[in-house]
Amino acid sequence: MIESDIVKDKGLNCWKATLKIKLPPIIVTKVASEKRDLHRSITREVNDIVSEYLEKNLEI
């Protein structure tokens, strides 16, 4: 579920967006030969999943 509030700040002459996202659990499994590579790989995968979810469900 996505709740968004988008308002025009007339004093600053810019837009302000507040976004609240309730996502189902996201499970990502990665395998890497080096432990330090896992953080980057898992972070990238979760970012991609959330970005795709927003593209499909957020209406601005």
Given this model, what pLDDT does residue 59 score? 78
Given this model, what pLDDT does residue 1 score? 79
Given this model, what pLDDT does residue 60 score? 74
Q: What digits encode the pLDDT tens for the residues 21-59? A: 998 899 999 998 988 899 999 999 999 999 999 998 887
Q: What does the DSSP 8-state code read for residue 41?
A: H
As a dihedral over the C-alpha atoms of residue 25, residue 40, residue 45, residue 5, rounded to 10 degrees, the angle is: 70
Instruction: Read off the pTM.
Output: 0.70
Contact, 21 vs 1, CB < 8 A?
A: yes
Instruction: Please check the confidence at residue 18 and state whether its pLDDT lies above 80.
Output: yes
Q: Which two tokens stand for residue 32?
A: 């890497």
Buried b (16+ CB within 10 A) or exposed e, 17-29: eeeeeeeeeeeee
